[in-house]
Structure 1
Amino acid sequence: MIEFLFSQYRDYPKQDIILEIVAIIFGLISVLFAKKNNILVYPTGIISTVIFVYLLYKWELIGDMLINGYYTTMSIYGWYLWTLKKNDHEEYPISVMNKKEIGIGVIIFLITVIFVILVYHFFDKFTSWTAYVDTFTTGVFFVGMWLMAKRKIENWILWIIGDIISIPLYFYKGYTFTSLQYFVFTIIAIYAYKEWKRNLAITI
């Protein structure tokens, strides 16, 4: 079983394996902070995404690298938004999407998918079915991160969808640790959605 799960790491540089594990640990810590609606989700998340940008660039996983580069940028943006207060209250409390935000979310998804398709064509990365799945998950995660910055409860639904798809996807690509990370992410996201939903019910 161990051989089946981790044999692909046999030829990996030791420092890359260590960096992947460190990035995963900080990623899990970040999601736990997000579940608790704690602003520390952002600094811990930035550490994880910056490491993954480096690793994914090295592994030539362009779509995944773009996702994590975007995560880093949106983490800075979300960190700023979550610090804003109005009359001693959070300016962006947990809330649900309105029609305008749904429209913006659809636009972000479509623009992201088109952009990734163009990038993949430029780098000639449409050589496997995984590239086509990557275009979809990138769009889902881009919208999810934007909604997280806005503290919209629907962000967790998108994380759950993207995480479930990413579990077998990363395992197939040969990154078992990252695949296991997305498995844990899925579980946390389900509980986080329930917790945010309870918090939302209290504030309404």
Structure 2
Amino acid sequence: MAVSWTEVLGFATGAVCVWLVARQHIANWPVGIANNVFFIVLFTQAGLYADAGLQIVFIALAGYGWWTWTHGGGPGTANVLPVRRTSRAEWLWLAAAGAVGTGALTLLLERATDSTVPFWDALTTALSLMATYGQCRKRVESWCLWITADLVYIPLYAYKGLHLTALLYVGFLGLCVLGLRGWLRDLRPAGLPRGVEASA
């Protein structure tokens, strides 16, 4: 299958975006929005309708993430949002939302589209939304969710003939591992100022 310019541009902006996220650089958000636009077109053409719709949600979440990263996650604060761990309560509602979302999207894709991979399209959509929430809030475990999603995306895109995009997600997988390591280094107890090490 021939590689389109849309796929090439999606590849380039996607790689830059993940690299910027791993470095906690604020420019990841506008670059990510450009990536989402390219992928809306690409995934619609490939019949990956949930993934195409997911890009619209990603654009909205990018605005939220951009704001939280620059305002510390709350009104009236100018501090950079610190890296934190996902709380037990967050995990519970994320897991519930992910399970419900996967089931509902699978049914919708089966009944309303010609998708040949409804469950896998729905599952990766749910995982990506869970990971994006964590990324917006700088939850370190968001990288684990992205790694899980990428391990499904790679064979899914190869199956759909999007070989360059599958290769991109192999790169994403490596960047996610690096991002996880970097954010773990930056992880610190709540309230501990940046640059101050916790006592042994």
Normalising to structure 2: TM-score of the pair? 0.86
1:105-144 to structure 2, matched below 5 A, reads: 105-125=94-114, 128=116, 130-144=117-131
Cα pair 2:36 2:55 within 8 Å, conserved: yes
- Match among 32, 37, 47 for residue 34 of structure 2: 47
- Match among 116, 125, 147 for residue 134 of structure 2: 147
Q: Which amino acid aligns with 2:135?
A: M
Q: Whole-Å Cα distance in 1 between the matches of residues 111 and 71 of structure 2? A: 40
Q: Whole-Å Cα distance in 1 between the matches of residues 180 and 42 of structure 2? A: 30
Identity %: 23
Q: Which residue number in structure 2 is paired with residue 68 of structure 1?
A: 55
Give how far 1:87 is off.
5.6
Q: Whole-Å Cα distance in 2 between the matches of residues 159 and 95 of structure 1? A: 16
Q: Whole-Å Cα distance in 1 between the matches of residues 43 and 77 of structure 2? A: 43
1:81-100 to structure 2, matched below 5 A, reads: 81-85=68-72, 88-90=78-80, 92-100=81-89
Change beyond 3 A, Cα 1:121–1:168: closer
- Match among 7, 18, 22 for residue 35 of structure 1: 22
Q: Whole-Å Cα distance in 1 between the matches of residues 120 and 46 of structure 2? A: 17
Q: Whole-Å Cα distance in 2 between the matches of residues 121 and 143 of structure 1? A: 22
Could you tell me which runs of 5 or more consecutive residues in structure 1 were left unpaired when the two chains were aligned.
Answer: 1-7
Give how far 1:59 is off.
2.8
Could you tell me which runs of 5 or more consecutive residues in structure 2 were left unpaired when the two chains were aligned.
Answer: 189-194
Q: How many pairs are equivalent? A: 188
Normalising to structure 1: TM-score of the pair? 0.85
Q: Whole-Å Cα distance in 1 between the matches of residues 159 and 95 of structure 2? A: 29
1:33-52: CA deviations, max 9, x gaps? 10001111110000001111
Q: Point out the structure with the larger helix share.
A: 1
Change beyond 3 A, Cα 1:120–1:88: closer
Q: CA RMSD in A?
A: 1.9
The reply to whether residue 198 of structure 1 matches residue 188 of structure 2 is no
1:142-183: CA deviations, max 9, x gaps? 100111001100000011111111111101110001000000
Give how far 1:58 is off.
2.8
Q: Which amino acid aligns with 2:79?
A: H
Cα pair 1:20 1:177 within 8 Å, conserved: yes
Cα pair 2:47 2:114 within 8 Å, conserved: no
Q: Whole-Å Cα distance in 2 between the matches of residues 87 and 78 of structure 1? A: 15
The reply to whether residue 57 of structure 1 matches residue 44 of structure 2 is yes
1:80-126: CA deviations, max 9, x gaps? 11111466422x31000112211221133123213312420332435
